[in-house]
Structure 1
Amino acid sequence: MSELEDEPIDTAGIADDWAAALTAQQGVAADMAAQADAAFTVDDQPLPPGSGLSLPKNDVNLDVILDVPVTIAMEIGRSKISIRNLLQLNQGSVVELDRLAGEPLDVFVNSCLIAHGEVVVVNDKFGIRLTDVISPTERIKKLK
């Protein structure tokens, strides 16, 4: 047997470590939300709702996160169907969605709703024109 196999595992200590880490994470999340609310001001005046982003007075170096990849997805609509009906789908099948024709699409970044938009065609490729962007303050509120 190796030395590691002879030592008993301290499960109570591991549980305490996890509890401490979770408590610290919750505190950091609360601090970040407070800083974000404070960051969206101009001349110490809060921005009106829906006015968009502004840089805080102190210089923030965003270069460290500009190359972080994110996933952007557009959702036309959703539908719930049984597995039986799912297995019966084939070429030419039509699935009814929960949206009406002409309703805006949802735009998600890393599964977080950030905007609504409409489909456009540019040079024979689909695109999306943003019609309504969720304000940063509203996005932060949804994280809490």
Structure 2
Amino acid sequence: MATNKAKSPKKKTKAVSKAAKKSSSKLAPTKVSAASTTVPRDNIDVMGKLNLTVTAELGRTRETIGKVREIGDQSLIELDKSVGEPVDLLLNGELFARGEVVTVSENFGVRITEIVRQPGD
């Protein structure tokens, strides 16, 4: 009977050049200065013209699909906040402030009472 002997694969070694070893062992430090993070004035002017969505959120609730399907005219939806409790102000969907609901002429408004975090932080 003949037996098949499995040959073990030969190990391959990669030759690393002296130049590659030398360049990887000594990396020059990178200097970062305040000047490198300065935004040009033109960019700030352009950013000042961008539109953002500001949302005043009175409250939230969770409902089943069945209950949502029953909603119609004159339906009441109870929210998780009490009357007089501060409303959340969202900037592009992110909480950034809280405030109280006021009237401005014939419209609603929000007087900011607390900045939770600065936009962009």
The reply on whether 1:136 has 2:118 as its aligned counterpart is: yes
Shift of 1:112: 1.0
Q: Which sections of structure 2, spanning at least 5 residues, go unmatched?
A: 1-33
Please identify the structure whose Cα radius of gyration is greater: 2
CA distance in 2, matches of 1:124, 1:107: 20
What CA deviation, in whole Å up to 9, does each residue of 1:102-134 have, x standing for no partner?
Answer: 110000110111100111111111111111012
1:125 matched residue in structure 2: 107
Runs (4+) off by over 6 Å: none
The reply on whether 1:104 has 2:104 as its aligned counterpart is: no
Which residue among 45, 69, 78 is the counterpart of 2:60?
Answer: 78
Pairwise mapping of residues 40-51 of structure 1 onto structure 2 (< 5 A)?
Answer: none
CA distance in 2, matches of 1:95, 1:84: 14
Q: Give the TM-score, by structure 1 length.
A: 0.52
2:17 matched residue in structure 1: none
What CA deviation, in whole Å up to 9, does each residue of 1:62-119 have, x standing for no partner?
Answer: 2120011111111000000001000111111111111111110000110111100111
Q: Give the TM-score, by structure 2 length.
A: 0.61
1:90 matched residue in structure 2: 72
Q: Which sections of structure 1, spanning at least 5 residues, go unmatched?
A: 1-37, 39-57
Q: Secondary structure at the match of 2:98?
A: strand
What CA deviation, in whole Å up to 9, does each residue of 1:28-68 have, x standing for no partner?
Answer: xxxxxxxxxx9xxxxxxxxxxxxxxxxxxx68622120011
CA distance in 1, matches of 2:83, 2:97: 18
Percentage of identical aligned residues: 34
